[in-house]
Chains A and B, each alone.
Chain A
Amino acid sequence: MASIVALEQVEVDYPGRGRALGPFSFSVAPGEIVALVGPSGSGKSTALRLLAGLEDPTRGDLERNLGRGETSVVFQAPTLAPWLSAQANVALPLELSGIPKAEALAQAGAALDRVGLSSAWAARPAQLSGGMAMRVSLARALATGPKLLLLDEPFAALDEITRRTLADDVLALWSQSRPAIVFVTHSVEEAAYMAARVVVLTKGPGRVAGEIAIPGDLPRPRAFRATPGFRQAAEDISACLAQGAEAVS
């Protein structure tokens, strides 16, 4: 299947900081869910910015077969504008894409309904819990109907129960419109539960240390966490992470 975004032997150097990523090759097929796992400083977020088109590689090829508004990003923090209501925050990317305000607000309301925030349209970000704010951020990312959804450690600041609930929510939302999802995480379990494919990066500058295919169709039932397949996948990812760290040090 043709990829919607592909990185071929890319390298990213930052002035004064040296190489942050690469050489790194990676591609995403339409509708697949891929997790990027690696130690801190391995260049996971840099890779995500390349995929989003927010940054260009220093060397190598980046091919993006995506148009304006077809890529969405959810950052580690909800990143909501504090002066806007939840609905207006979700409507913002739609309005920036040229959709009239009234229509954008209606679509934003529907997106908030989909993430279970029907009663919080008018709430400001400061009035929302961490989990609710992240749901608004998800609704904003999905409102434009993206073909590629990039999640940069979106649940890192949340408690374990909220993390698990939001992971299920993301999978449920994915099953509605099936965008390709690439998410960065430090959590081996989260990667094994949510992704069909896990790409493990070495210690920085990140290269591919290994790739693990996770068995079972998506979205997975909650009981998947208790299966031998899940445990084996988590162990494989952990082993690959350890190998990746050793290979460099």
Chain B
Amino acid sequence: MRQVLNTLAPLILLGFLLAIWEVTCRTLNVPAYFLPPPSEVALAVAQDAPSLIAAAWNTLSVALLALLLASLCAQAVAIVIALSPLLERAVRPLASVLQVTPVVAIAPLVLIWAGIDHPERAVIALAVLVAFFPIFSGAVTGLHAADPDLERLFDLYQASRIQRVLRLQLPSAVPFLLEGHKVGAGLAIIGAVVAEFAAGSGGIRGLAWRILDAGNKLQTARMLAALVVLGVMGVVLHAVLNRIEQFGLRWWRGR
């Protein structure tokens, strides 16, 4: 019973908030361009479903490609600096600069570098930049998180640096890598959407473009419909990555 209530609680709250929203819009005659009632947003989702799904796929595919590239780059850099403490000290400040720089601020520059005719490259690059840090940070932390007694065991058997990284540090980093990828995936979507905004109306017709396009035409219900799809996509991706993390941790722990 408690489990059912736990599952239903967020749905009940959502339904309650939607009902208040619907009633408020209708009783106060709120103009549709300002705030359409949820029923109109639902209608817009239903009417635009094919194009919304296509736009969602555009954004999602960019985010997933960015996640893959960020994962490869972050792990490669983390492993290289794990082999050299001096290199780690050199790379850390640069990685921190990358972390604190807002993607919107560097988007125009990346758009120029990627070529005005190839906004999709810029969008992917920006999403990679956003997703890179949590994976890199998780990898670096994880590579230093090996059991000290296991470290001593590797010392005792005079393991080489490569053996230590591949046989001890990387496997020890798995829980940190899983967490880093989960955070990185969410940020990759945010990065892709922000980059689409920065790229404007050219090239990538993802969910951000749908929001911009509908906003320019004052079609607020369609804007909200794209936001709903974005939210659902985020929740589904988060749930999928949660499952992957749980499965990965169960494999790693052996139970």
| A residues in contact (CB < 8 Å) with B | 49, 52-54, 68-69, 71-73, 75, 77, 79, 81-84, 92-93, 95-97, 123-127, 144
Contacts and interface: CB of A to CB of B under 8 A. Distances in A.
Nearest to B147: A79
B155 interface: yes
Interface string B117-160: 00000000000000000000000000000010110111111110
B254 A72 contact: no
Interface in B185-225: none
B174 A97 contact: no
Given A79-B149, A81-B171, A83-B171, A53 B253 contact: no
Given A54-B152, A83-B174, A93-B153, A68 B253 contact: no
26 contacts: A52-B152, A53-B156, A54-B155, A54-B156, A68-B158, A71-B156, A73-B156, A75-B149, A77-B149, A79-B147, A79-B149, A81-B150, A81-B171, A82-B252, A82-B254, A83-B171, A83-B174, A83-B252, A83-B254, A84-B171, A93-B153, A96-B158, A96-B163, A96-B167, A97-B157, A127-B255
B63 to A, nearest CB: 29
Nearest to B254: A124
B255 A124 contact: yes
Contacts of A73: 152-153, 156
Contacts of A53: 156
B157 to A, nearest CB: 4
A82 B145 CA distance: 13
B156 A127 contact: no
B126 to A, nearest CB: 35
Nearest to B152: A54
Given A68-B157, A96-B157, A79 B252 contact: no
A54 B151 CA distance: 11
B177 to A, nearest CB: 12
A79 B156 CA distance: 14
Contact of A93 (B147, B157, B171, B254): B157
Contacts of B167: 92, 95-96
A127 B254 contact: yes
Nearest to B158: A68
A144 B157 CA distance: 10
A72 B163 CA distance: 18
A232 B159 CA distance: 45
Nearest to A140: B153
Nearest to A150: B156
Nearest to A93: B157
A78 to B, nearest CB: 9
Contacts of A54: 152, 155-156
B237 to A, nearest CB: 26
A84 B174 CA distance: 13
A86 to B, nearest CB: 10
B254 A126 contact: yes
Contacts of A72: 156
Contacts of B174: 83
Of B147, B155, B254, most buried by chain A (CB within 10 Å of CB) is B254
A49 B153 CA distance: 11
Contacts of A75: 149, 152
Smallest CB-CB A-B distances: 7 pairs: A124-B254, A79-B149, A96-B157, A126-B254, A126-B255, A75-B149, A96-B159
